């Protein structure tokens, strides 16, 4: 059974998609051992609690500097002994020491087709605002392994989503979630839990 720890910052709809997929058997061989948030008020924590899943808060605001937060966050995660760390809308940069310890065992969902609209400053609704500003016709979502860069690790899966002329950032965000994120992230976890993915020469291959 794959022990997955899920990191969240906000609404937690991606967390919900994972939980629902476990319920219906679309994600197998997986147990969510904890939900960790930097944000005490995250609705995602309530979703975890309602399922009896351990919820933890580790916020940069509670530490004197970034290094102290990085140490505490890494320690907390390692203490859970997860096989996989899932960033499901986690808007804090992952400590480099955690990336080193969990090479190709951290996955992230990003709401664009990487390498477009990603990197520093591109997160949450901001991604969709920039997509609309630029006027692209196709956007989407990407699941990737996390390396020391920002949105730069090996790509696991991507799904394109059409931009409509009357879209607002909110309507576009919702469509990207419904047509891409809530499908891609559970599927990637299921593939990892069942040994279907390998990273070869920095690229993800199905095995
Ligand atoms: C999702 O759209 C996710 O892709 C994005 O934050 C949102 C969280 O929603 N993540 C990033 O932007 C990471 N760079 P949720 O809390 O409802 O799952």
Question: What CATH class does 2-206 carry?
Answer: alpha beta
Catalytic residues: 110
d(CA 201, CA 104): 12
Per-residue pLDDT of the chain (207 residues), as tens digits, is: 999 999 999 999 999 999 999 999 999 999 999 999 999 999 999 999 999 999 999 999 999 999 999 999 999 999 999 999 999 999 999 999 999 999 999 999 999 999 999 999 999 999 999 999 999 999 999 999 999 999 999 999 999 999 999 999 999 999 999 999 999 999 999 999 999 999 999 999 999
Count of Cβ atoms closer than 10 Å to residue 161 Cβ: 21
Q: What's the 180 CA to ligand 1 centre distance in angstroms?
A: 12
Helical (H) or strand (E) element with 96: helix 96-101
d(CA 77, CA 81): 7
Give the domain ranges of the chain. Answer: 2-206
Is the CB of 123 inside a 6 Å radius of any atom of ligand 1? yes
Predicted local confidence at residue 3, as pLDDT: 98
Is the CB of 17 inside a 6 Å radius of any atom of ligand 1? no
Is the CB of 182 inside a 6 Å radius of any atom of ligand 1? no
The model's pTM? 0.98
Q: What's the 89 CA to ligand 1 centre distance in angstroms?
A: 3
Classified as helix, coil or strand, 178 is helix
Is the CB of 172 inside a 6 Å radius of any atom of ligand 1? no
Burial of 125 from C-beta contacts in 10 A (0-12 / 13-18 / 19+): middle
């Amino acid at each position: 059974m794959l022990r997955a720890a899920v990191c969240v910052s906000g609404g937690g709809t991606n967390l919900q998609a994972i939980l629902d997929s476990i319920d219906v058997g679309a994600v197998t061989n997986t147990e969510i051992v904890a939900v960790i948030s930097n944000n005490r008020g995250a609705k995602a924590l309530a979703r975890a609690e309602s399922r009896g899943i351990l919820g933890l808060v580790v916020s940069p605001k509670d530490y004197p500097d970034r290094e102290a937060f990085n140490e505490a966050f890494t320690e907390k995660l390692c203490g859970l002994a997860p096989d996989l760390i899932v960033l499901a809308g986690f808007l804090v940069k992952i400590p480099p020491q955690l990336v080193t310890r969990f090479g190709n065992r951290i996955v992230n969902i990003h709401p664009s087709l990487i390498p477009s609209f990603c990197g520093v400053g591109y997160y949450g609704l901001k991604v969709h605002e920039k997509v609309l500003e630029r006027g692209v016709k196709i956007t989407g979502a990407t699941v990737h392994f996390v390396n020391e860069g920002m949105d730069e690790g090996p790509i696991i899966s991507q799904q394109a989503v059409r931009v409509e002329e009357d879209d607002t950032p909110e309507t576009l965000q919702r469509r990207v979630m419904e047509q891409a994120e809530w499908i891609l992230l559970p599927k990637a976890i299921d593939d990892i839990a069942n040994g279907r993915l390998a990273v070869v020469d920095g690229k993800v291959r199905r095995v």
